[in-house]
Amino acid sequence: MVPNAVRRGDTASLICHYDLEGDDLYSVNWYKGRQEFYGYTPKEMPTMKIFNIAGIAIIKSLSNESHITLENVQLISSGRYSCEVTVDAPSFHTYISSADMEVVG
């Protein structure tokens, strides 16, 4: 779930709803367009990886396997956001959900 519109300078909460149907989580990755900016892999250390993308600043303490919080969003933060969930072995099925967010003001 991505907010449709956010005011410039505000925070934005992006939520990834998923049901693993009994499988274990392998990873959750977030993308803006085709660029990955956040990855969560519970079996790796550190579990959370953040990649530098212009216009995206993540509040780590408010982010985890199901949601992320962006701070001080700017006009450049507008775009299509995708959450990619992959279940663990043996299937490694991947599910993707996408939505657009516009920064206004």
CATH superfamily of 5-103: Immunoglobulins (2.60.40.10)
For residue 2, what pLDDT is reported? 94
pLDDT digits (tens, 9 = 90+) for 15-53: 999 988 889 999 999 999 999 999 999 999 999 999 999
| Per-residue burial over 17-26, b = 16 or more CB atoms within 10 Å of its CB, e = otherwise | eeeeeeeebb
The domain limits of the chain are 5-103
pLDDT digits (tens, 9 = 90+) for 64-103: 999 999 999 999 999 999 999 999 988 899 999 999 999 9
Work out the pLDDT band at 54, boundaries 50, 70, 90. Answer: very high
User: Rounded to 10 degrees, what is the CA torsion of 61, 24, 42, 57?
Assistant: -40
Give the three-state DSSP class for 61: helix
With 0-12 / 13-18 / 19 or more C-beta atoms within 10 angstroms meaning exposed / middle / buried, residue 42 is: middle
